[in-house]
Amino acid sequence: NAGVTQTPKFQVLKTGQSMTLQCAQDMNHEYMSWYRQDPGMGLRLIHYSVGAGITDQGEVPNGYNVSRSTTEDFPLRLLSAAPSQTSVYFCASSYVGGTGYTFGSGTRLTVV
Amino acid sequence: GQQLNQSPQSMFIQEGEDVSMNCTSSSIFNTWLWYKQDPGEGPVLLIALYKAGELTSNGRLTAQFGITRKDSFLNISASIPSDVGIYFCAGPPTGANSKLTFGKGITLSVRP
């Protein structure tokens, strides 16, 4: 099915470990973004990209890196996991200038 | 930055009742969006509004773009159990192109 695919769905990390959350879309969307969702905080933008080779910071970028080598993929890297990064992470994509985001089903990350 | 305010954080209604929720901002938005998030899933776009005063329906859902451009309303009529979820308002900050700001969401519970 066309859409946004996120892997893994669940992950437990130890403090200090690194990992990459994967996001892929097959709709040829130029715009891709990562959000984290915490109770009572809504969705907060971490990083976004308007096309291959172009990335920028969102509201809460610290502790996260991104790259965009292809239109389809937008991985999110946690460099040294901290308990404060325990959250549900969503990837979303759209056409540039569009607002009808398509979201992935999320990755639930726990850092112990 | 431009923030979107949603309250209360939770609402509890009886099946069959109507419910209204609103979203306000201290800044003008040129587009208002309403998303719904089912448990364990990513948000899905319900309704998009592009013009001040616009009233748009999607089945039992009706949303309005406030004439001041600083608020929007979502009404759900004759609620059913599958209306349970988190309802987010969202909009692109001025000049943000595809970037969206989300409200913190309202969790709706429907008692059978």
Mean pLDDT of A3-11: 97
How many CB pairs below 8 A link A and B? 62
Neighbouring residues of B92: CB distance < 8 A, sequence distance ≥ 6: A99, B29, B30, B31, B98, B99, B100, B101
- B13-28 pLDDT per residue, tens: 999 999 999 999 988 9
Which pLDDT band holds residue A100 (cuts at 50, 70, 90)? confident
pLDDT at A4: 97
Distance separating the N- and C-terminal Cα atoms of chain B: 40
Q: Which residues of B touch A (CB under 8 A)?
A: 1, 9, 31, 33, 35, 40-45, 48, 88, 90-92, 97-105
Ranges in chain B, pLDDT < 70: 1, 94-97
